[in-house]
Amino acid sequence: MTSRLAAARAVGVEIAARHADDVDAGARFPREALAALKDRQLLGIMVPESEGGAGAGIAEVASICDALGRSCASTAMIYAMHQIQVACIVHHAGKNAWLRTFMKQLAKDQLLLGSATSEVGVGGDVRSSICAIEEKDGRFSLTKQAPVISYGADCDGILVTARRTPQSPASDQVIVVVPRDGYQLEQKSGWDALGMRGTCSNGYHLEAKGGMEQVIPAPFADVSAQTMLPVSHLLWSALWLGIATDAVTRARAYVRSEAKKTPGGVPDGGWRLAEAASLLQLMKSNVVVSLRQYEAVVGSEDKLTALPFAVAMNNLKTGSSQLAVQVIHQAMLVCGLAGYRNDTAFSLGRHLRDAHSAALMVNNDRVLARTAQLLVALREDPGLLE
């Protein structure tokens, strides 16, 4: 783990950070950083050793997301999104021979995976699909209007959600793994966004074909509850932590530079730095505890779908997304105009813009509404050590 994390940190500091402003300004794919991650064999680390991967756990992947987030949020988000898709395959492939062969190819060739879970016409509800699997003679075809497929033009494969059959209700979904040669994309919209500009989250008309063995055996409802949602919340929170950490690092550097001008005194804004550091510690603690909670229940379907665990993961997402913005805002107040400007070593504009995406990725209002439903159904809150 130590060597892989060190490699990721080097990619962040030496490559991702160097190109981050250009990636943001041009809203372009961070090709240099992703090429370096591929070269260092960091894309397939979650694949089990039996399938040619490193068998890395969630904590290591989260640490890498944190490290990359300190340098380039778009690079970190792409890495996190990719690993979420890998986790879905790893945890739900079962004995499916095609999926296990695909995992080996993923690890060997360091394939980059994206996802098409959102769809035009469902109001942002990823647990509902209009498109459906059309099966004939063991083959499938599907057509999907996807308002967002992040880094779709640069993927080596996409995981696509769809109704199980044309007759299935909207909530009876499956998720199918489609390699690059199995789909076509026609771009329908661009990505000129406030932040996370390098994710290139364009909208596409997607047409896919392949064999029915490419469908993950478990229903998407199970894949989502047991893997996609908790892993998303954990890895996203880790990269948001990385963004916030770099903001505090810049604020601390600013206060140090000001302190040199008035030896023996605390510069204006010093107390805000202390407050930002306190919020950052709270954010980090939340991520660490949540990682331990996930590691304690991973592999147990009953515990992964238990109400207390679902509430905890939802709270991680909403809490981290709110704290990230608060920490960066405090850091900007510390740095003043030096943080507000885009042309200083203490600039925090990109950090703040990227962090504001956190509350919108699976909208916090929807997550909070779902949490409220779970809390009503929850009979009692588990003890501190449970």
Can you tell me whether residue 125 is helix, strand or coil?
Answer: coil
| Model pLDDT, residue 261 | 83
pLDDT less than 50: residues of the chain:
385
The model's pLDDT over 333-348, given as tens digits with 9 standing for 90+, comes to 999 999 999 999 999 9
Please, are residues 229 and 309 in contact by the beta-carbon 8 Å criterion? Answer: no
Structural domain boundaries in the chain: 2-111, 114-214, 220-377
| Model pLDDT, residue 382 | 61
Place of tokens 């739900």: 92
| Model pLDDT, residue 268 | 78
| Model pLDDT, residue 123 | 85
pTM as predicted? 0.96
Place of tokens 């916090």: 364
| Model pLDDT, residue 385 | 47
CA–CA separation, 127 and 129 (whole Å): 7
The closest of 320, 317, 313 to 297, measured between CA atoms, is 313
The type of residue at 230 is P
| Model pLDDT, residue 378 | 87
Please, are residues 33 and 102 in contact by the beta-carbon 8 Å criterion? Answer: no
| Model pLDDT, residue 86 | 98
Q: Which residues contact 166 (CB under 8 A, 6 or more apart)?
A: 132, 133, 134
Report how far apart the first and last C-alpha atoms of the chain are (Å, whole number).
28
- Domain 114-214 in CATH: superfamily? Butyryl-CoA Dehydrogenase, subunit A, domain 2 (2.40.110.10)
Topology agreement, domain 2-111 and domain 114-214:
no
* Range 2-111 has CATH code 1.10.540.10: yes
Q: Tell which CATH architecture fits domain 220-377.
A: Up-down Bundle (1.20)
